[in-house]
Amino acid sequence: MGDLHGSSSRSAPAGVTPARWTPESWQARVAAQMIDYPDRQALDRAVTKLSALPPLVTSGEVERLTELLAQAQEGRRFLLQGGDCAETLVDCRPDKVTAQLKILLQMSLVLVHGMKKPVIRVGRFAGQYAKPRTSATETRDGQTLPSYFGDLVNGAGFDLASRTPDPDRLLAAYQHAAVTLNFIRALIDSGFADLHHPENWDLRFMEHAGLRPSLRAEYHRMTQQLAEALRFMEALGDGSVDELSRVEFFTSHEGLNLFYESAQTREVPRKSGWWNLTTHLPWIGERTRNVDGAHVEYFRGIRNPVAIKLGPDADPADVVRLINVLNPDNEPGRTVLVTRMGATKAEKALPSLLAHVADSRRRVLWVCDPMHGNTRATDGEIKTRHFDDILQELEMTIDAHTRIGTNLGGVHFELTGEDVTECVGGSGGVTEADLTSNYESLCDPRLNYQQALEMAFLLARRLAK
């Protein structure tokens, strides 16, 4: 690590003089989940190439999202963040991308209608290619190989060639992220008018025999109201269909592979500071948020808003220290805290955390990820999550915020617009026996289209209260 000159534009917390930051200063720190590239020269070549390529997003877009997040911190907007656990290179296909945008847009309309406030849409896409793993290696039938760390790092196949970290994947992932984002931008530009008609949505879950009649009636009522509200908007005047269908989307991914993140971190003309221009909203995972670690060192130097995942063992005092390091000037819209406690732990872990951060007067946006604390394995060793656990964590989190007087400003889901069978439950009635029929995720189980839409209805109903 270099010299100890404090950076002039930032005030450090009392007693701490941060060393000089550069996009590469993280390399002197210990990195959890560090990727061990055997061919360092190939890594250098790939990083050099990646650094020279154009950015995927602009600093202006990042500033816009920061402003919106600042409004969400004040309770004036709500964040909906969602997408795959892990994107894969082979799934960079038009049908998949369209399905993802569609479900996020439909959920957002349901939430807007229920909450009567604008929703910020952020996809886990166009770069969500790196995965932290519980174990660095995996053993099958006596053979031990590196774990699969996502397509940005290595291949999922269980053989040495696939599992060896390959620096050329930094470029392949960047290219796939670019293609994905290009298609997303094109879809947004051409409008989503038809998606504003709930009569075109797939609402089969509402007709399922197992659904309680009172809930069915309520879903129908909400859908009708939503359809009427949208027709009313359309009828308001010329061009409003277009206006209405031109929606904003932002991108996010876990900033796990710091070679990728730092290669695309740059200064821009007439603005101060450094920007990670691979994505609008990078996040720090639960396993890499050590305040002295490489990831926090990297993230403290960029101007993007940064989200931090917080599990049930997060120590409230550590969290405040982390916020101070990442956002020393307490700037609005810059810090997003994503709690992912699990339905069995949320009630105990949340109140002290919420209260401690509130007492510190740090400006944060509280978001609930009800997925990552609720993963379990079936008897047949299939990773799944139960719809009811997910809903329960959301409800517990809403209650905890109400009790402490803080504001739940967003939600974070792993979901897909397709008809997969990875999570169980929901009115569509996916059971454990169904899981093998269409299980696609290489990492965590996602809500399918019906489950995600129903979750939005239940959440909107709950937050409307």
Name the minimum Å distance from CB 109 to ligand PEP. 24
Out of ligand PEP, Co ion, none, what residue 132 binds, judged by CB under 5 to 8 A for its kind, is: ligand PEP
Of 64 and 287, which CB lies nearer to ligand PEP in the complex structure? 287
Residue 385 in the binding site for ligand PEP (CB under 6 A): no
Secondary structure of 182-223 as H, E, C letters: HHHHHHHHHCCHHHHCHHHCCCHHHHCCCCCHHHHHHHHHHH
Structure tokens at 452: 């995600």
Residue 85 in the binding site for ligand PEP (CB under 6 A): yes
Q: Among residues 82, 114, 285, 342, which is the contact residue for ligand PEP, using CB under 6 A?
A: 285
Name the minimum Å distance from CB 205 to ligand PEP. 25
415 forms beta bridges with: 447
411 forms beta bridges with: 80, 368
Closest CA to 373 of 357, 390, 387, 354: 390
Name the minimum Å distance from CB 268 to ligand PEP. 28
Residue 286 in the binding site for ligand PEP (CB under 6 A): yes
Name the minimum Å distance from CB 423 to ligand PEP. 14
Site for Co ion in 437-456 (CB under 5 A): 444
Name the minimum Å distance from CB 244 to ligand PEP. 31
Name the minimum Å distance from CB 97 to ligand PEP. 19
Q: What angle do CA 81, 82, 86 make, to 5 degrees?
A: 135
Name the minimum Å distance from CB 249 to ligand PEP. 18
Of 287 and 461, which CB lies nearer to ligand PEP in the complex structure? 287
Strands 383-384 and 119-124: unpaired
Q: Classify burial at 281, counting beta carbons within 10 Å of its beta carbon; exposed 0-12, middle 13-18, buried 19 or more.
A: buried
Out of Co ion, ligand PEP, none, what residue 45 binds, judged by CB under 5 to 8 A for its kind, is: none
Residue 132 in the binding site for ligand PEP (CB under 6 A): yes
Residue 334 in the binding site for ligand PEP (CB under 6 A): no
Out of ligand PEP, Co ion, none, what residue 389 binds, judged by CB under 5 to 8 A for its kind, is: none
383 forms beta bridges with: 377
The answer to whether the CB of 137 falls within 8 A of the CB of 159 is no
Structure tokens at 332: 């609005």
Q: Among residues 295, 300, 309, 446, which is the contact residue for ligand PEP, using CB under 6 A?
A: 309
H/E element holding 242?
helix 240-245
Q: What is the spatial distance between Cα 391 and Cα 374, in angstroms, rounded to a whole number?
A: 10
Buried b / exposed e over 154-190, threshold 16 CB at 10 Å, is bbbeeeeeebbbbbebbbebbebbbebbebbeebbee
Residue 340 in the binding site for ligand PEP (CB under 6 A): yes
Closest CA to 281 of 111, 92, 121: 121
The residues, ordered by sequence, that sit 6+ positions from 62 with a Cβ below 8 Å of its Cβ are 275, 277, 280, 303, 304, 305
Q: Among residues 372, 385, 401, 446, which is the contact residue for ligand PEP, using CB under 6 A?
A: 372
Of 43 and 338, which CB lies nearer to ligand PEP in the complex structure? 338
Site for Co ion in 26-85 (CB under 5 A): 85
Interface residues with Co ion (CB under 5 A) are 85, 444
Binding site for ligand PEP (CB under 6 A): 85, 132, 254, 285-287, 309, 340, 372, 444
